[in-house]
Amino acid sequence: MQWRRFVSLPILAVLLLMIIVFYGTVFIFLDDWVGFQSSAGLTNVVIFSTLASFTLFSFLVSVFTDPGAVPSGYFPDIESSDGSDQESRESEALTKRCDKCSAYKPPRAHHCRVCRRCVLKMDHHCTWINNCVGQRNYKAFFLLVFYGTISSLYSTVIIVGCGVQKDWESFGTTRLKTFYITSAVMISLLSLTLGTLLGWHIYLLIHNMTTIEYYEGTRKVWLAKKSGQIYKHPYDVGAYRNVTMILGPHVLKWLWPSASSHVKDGTSFPTVRDSL
């Protein structure tokens, strides 16, 4: 059933882009610059192939990993303070009920109109992986952007370096110059796009925030400021702890996309109030 996710033009486009970038970088520009027979050439082939492999692996994990579904029969755990009665508890529970799914949803869960279900700790629905980014596959998605950015930057250096050292007076036809310039511009734009996306998700990661929560929080910040108060994201429990909740407690496993045994069930999360 999961293999049906690959029947998607955006996914095929991503795979095709990976193939084109890898082939062009290694077999055209790198070979033309230093060649495969030299130690420098072989070293660069190994490094770039490793980065490309991790990018592809992260992509596959992002596609095939379910982002997290709300457990069947879930009911929100509402703390009863000051002797509140059952009626007030039910009233609060209604605010955590999804009308489309006709079921209760945990904190940070949202309904995806594309997937037609509620997703645990939903960040967004990504067309390029034909899947939601949520509780169980956010780490893989983050590493996909991370490895993709490094790979594209590495490719940019190789393409630009090859172009700078090339003897254009002897071999520089107009068509070849156009090809080099176009390739350099395209890979630079890809690097800029992925780099910007990586910077955005590093910010979210450090603050333990999803994209949805960021945009919801902008209004809460405005309302708090208007009333003379300061709004703090309730799930921001400190940069290091925020990072370990996503990437894992073991630093050596941070860069491995499928190392997700630390991921919880996604129905409850530590908050700033818990640490007080």
According to the model, what pLDDT value does residue 77 have?
73
Catalytic residue among 112, 118, 126, 162: 126
Cα–Cα separations (whole angstroms), residue 234 to 58, 230, 272: 29, 12, 5
As a whole number of angstroms, the longest Cα–Cα distance in the chain is 87
Which of 113-122, 138-147, 186-195, 221-230 has the least mean pLDDT? Answer: 221-230
Q: Give exposure, 78-101, as e/b (b: 16+ Cβ within 10 Å).
A: eeeeeeeeeeeeeeeeeeeeeeee
Distance CA 154, CA 191 (A): 9
CA atoms within 13 A on the CB side of 173: 3
Q: How confident is the model at residue 96 (pLDDT cuts 50, 70, 90)?
A: confident
The amino acid that residue 222 corresponds to is W
| SS3 at position 55 | helix
pLDDT tens readout for residues 159-191: 999 998 887 777 667 888 899 999 999 999 999
126 is catalytic: yes
pLDDT tens readout for residues 208-245: 999 999 999 888 888 888 888 888 899 999 999 999 99
According to the model, what pLDDT value does residue 137 have?
97
Q: Locate 216 and state its tokens.
A: 């919801």
Distance CA 42, CA 27 (A): 12
Which of 65-74, 76-85, 120-129 has the least mean pLDDT? Answer: 76-85
Share the mean pLDDT of the chain: 90
The H or E element spanning position 133 is strand 131-133
